[in-house]
Amino acid sequence: MSRASAIEKESVQISTIQDLTGVFESIASTQVAKVKNKVDLSGEFFQLLWDRYRSIRIDPASRITARALGDEKARKVYVIISAEAGLSGDIDLRLIETMMQNYDPKTTDIIVLGSHGANQLTQRGIHFERFFQVPETDKYINVDPVIEAVMPYSQIIVYYEEYISLGVQEIKSIDLISRMKTLGETDDSSEEIMTAEDTIFEPSLDEIADRMEMTMMTIALSQAILESNLAQAASRFNSMAVAKKRATELLTDYQLEFHRAKRSESDRRLREVMISIKKKKAHAKGIH
Amino acid sequence: MADKESVSNQMTVIARAPFHLYYEGPAESVTAVNKIGKFDILPGHADFFSMLDPGEVVIGTNTDQVVFTIHNGIITVRDNEVMLFVNM
């Protein structure tokens, strides 16, 4: 059995780990609440903008959402949204594995967001065309460079992590253009149409429609990034909760062992004292 | 009667960025900047869509003014309802 002082030292270290995992756990939990609020706000924004977009009538053939129809030979792109650093549980691994099930390098390029995903792809020897750091999400997500990089492709599939609940995160994929197209084709007879005859458009209907489409694509991508952030924070929270639980169990074990060692040490000292008293008594009897 | 007049002198305004709600409620005026220059939207304005230039947006309510700066945006006016989508 180890000495009580050694066990006590180790127990202090475990206690520090327990405290640290507790701090990480609460940071992750705060982040979940913060990002969830942003996801809700951005969803409301998208819906309002979408309602306004649907109320204007534009030639569908000339829209960004229709451009994929023309060129069947054009390459498609997978946009993978991963974490910027480690400590995100196993969710990025699942993301790459899901993407790999459909990936064909002959027809598809990969653009990766987040160092963690880029490292995972490199380890597997998978080439990616471009890498971007995950845009800052504290105030404003600037996805313009990513949008610029994906615009030449005929199809844009975004792989991201979706937050279902604190305990469940799923891998999702969306086709950015098809999604917009599908939404655009949704018939809503209750929506009153605004045309150039009864509405003032500045600078022009087409320019405004272009701008609205780009904005909605940007928001759709930003939402995928936010969803991923949320899922990563939840995954991190789960990892930290498991680590904290393990540290707490270990600490209990160590405390038990510490008390046993302490007891055993005091028993040994007591035995030594008793033996010493006995010896002294025997010695005293011998003298007399 | 006075109530009726004050209702007709107002419009509904929603001003928001993807992650921020600047204002939502009744207002008496909205001032913003587009390619042509500074313009005002008052109750009863014609239906209107415009891209906004960087600058200041001022929403005048009957008690106060809400002022914020934008770097881009779209304004839409429809049936006395003004929506500002900004800082996208």
Domains of chain B: 2-87 (2.60.15.10)
Cβ atoms B33, A202 nearer than 8 A: no
Residue whose token pair is 């003298």: A287
B14 neighbourhood in chain A, CB within 8 Å: 48
Instruction: Report how far apart, in Å, the C-alpha atoms of A55 and of each of A58, A83, A189, A193 are.
Output: 10, 37, 10, 5
DSSP state of A2: -
Query: Going by C-beta distance under 8 Å and a sequence separation of 6 or more, which residues neighbour residue A28?
Result: A233, A234, A236, A237, A240
Digits of tens for pLDDT over chain A (288 positions)?
567 788 878 878 877 877 777 777 777 777 777 778 888 888 888 888 888 887 876 655 556 655 554 455 678 899 999 888 766 667 788 889 999 999 999 999 999 998 889 998 999 999 999 999 887 665 566 788 888 898 888 888 999 888 787 777 888 888 877 766 655 555 554 556 777 778 888 888 888 888 888 888 888 888 888 888 888 777 777 777 787 788 888 888 888 888 888 888 888 889 999 999 998 888 888 766
Are the Cβ atoms of B18 and A48 closer than 8 angstroms?
no
Give how far A44 is from chain B: nearest CA, Å: 8
- Computed over every residue of chain A, the mean pLDDT equals 80
From the CB of residue A249, how many other CB atoms can be counted at a distance below 10 Å? Answer: 12
DSSP-based three-state secondary structure for B43:
coil
Whole-angstrom distance, CA of residue A265 vs CA of residue A261: 6
Whether residue B16 lies within 8 A of chain A, CB to CB, comes out as yes
DSSP-based three-state secondary structure for A124:
coil
Of A130, A153, A177, nearest to A73 (Cα)?
Answer: A153
Residue from A38, A40, A41, A218 to probe the interface with B (highest B Cβ count within 10 Å): A41
pLDDT computed for residue B4 by the predictor: 44
Query: Going by C-beta distance under 8 Å and a sequence separation of 6 or more, which residues neighbour residue A65?
Result: A177, A180, A181, A184, A213
Are the Cβ atoms of A219 and B18 closer than 8 angstroms?
yes
User: B14 falls in which pLDDT band (50, 70, 90)?
Assistant: very high
CA dihedral angle for residue B39, residue B45, residue B51, residue B57, rounded to 10 degrees: 50
Determine the residue of chain A that is closest to B15 in CA distance.
A45
Interface confidence, given as ipTM, is: 0.85
Higher pLDDT, B28 or A30: B28
B24 neighbourhood in chain A, CB within 8 Å: none
Give how far B76 is from chain A: nearest CA, Å: 8
Q: Is the pTM of this model over 0.80?
A: no
pLDDT computed for residue B7 by the predictor: 46
Of A42, A201, A219, the CB nearest to B49: A201
Are the Cβ atoms of A201 and B46 closer than 8 angstroms?
no
Residue B5 has pLDDT above 50, yes or no: no
% of residues, chain A, pLDDT over 70: 84
Between β-strands A155-163 and A169-175, what pairing exists: parallel, antiparallel or unpaired?
Answer: antiparallel
pLDDT computed for residue A66 by the predictor: 53
A221 neighbourhood in chain B, CB within 8 Å: none
User: B43 falls in which pLDDT band (50, 70, 90)?
Assistant: very high
